[in-house]
Amino acid sequence: MSEDIKVRIATPADVHDLMELAMLACDENGFVNPNPVKLLNEIYPALTLQSGIVGIIGKVSEKPEAAILLRVGNVWYSDNPVLEERAIFVHPDFRSAKGGRAAKLCKFAKETSDKLGLPLMIGVLSNDRTAAKIRMYERQFGSPSGVYFLYQAQTGGWKEAS
């Protein structure tokens, strides 16, 4: 049942499993070669609740089914803090499973935004099933506030180029 699927706050003990999930996400959605050290530098502070948080679906000490990385930062033109979604990813083994994992992670992001009183920046950067992902985000967040384009790149395309 989808009620059994819960988003929990990840801890430093989840770091290795989250790094595996992050590398899988980069394989699929990255459009340039990922740097594991930079990934760790974004993930680890959020695991210790320093300027961020990681929501994770999966039992402690088991491989994560899905996760969302949220960081508190500033947009380039302002000193006002915002909550930035850096990544949301559902492991391929759980995408067709019942439970709405991506929607639960979106709900976690909204709840975190509400608790912190910060605007949330979240979006879809993918060349795979993009229209379906956008429809799901529209159900969660309403109408989009823009769109991203990649020129001379495609998500997942960095692997072919290397």
The Cα–Cα gap between 51 and 9 comes to 14
Domain ranges of the chain: 2-161
Neighbour-count burial for 77-106, b at 16+ CB within 10 Å, e otherwise? eeeeebbbbbbbbbbeebeeeebebbebbb
Burial (CB count within 10 angstroms: exposed 0-12, middle 13-18, buried 19+), residue 38:
exposed
What's domain 2-161's superfamily in CATH? Gcn5-related N-acetyltransferase (GNAT) (3.40.630.30)
pTM value? 0.90
Instruction: Answer for the pair 10, 54: CB distance below 8 angstroms, yes or no.
Output: yes
The amino acid present at 73, given as its one-letter code, is: G
Q: In a structure prediction context, what are the per-residue pLDDT tens digits for the chain, which is 162 residues long? A: 456 889 999 999 999 999 999 999 998 888 888 999 999 999 999 999 999 999 999 988 889 999 999 999 999 999 999 999 999 999 999 988 888 999 999 999 999 999 999 999 988 777 677 788 888 888 988 888 888 787 888 887 766 665
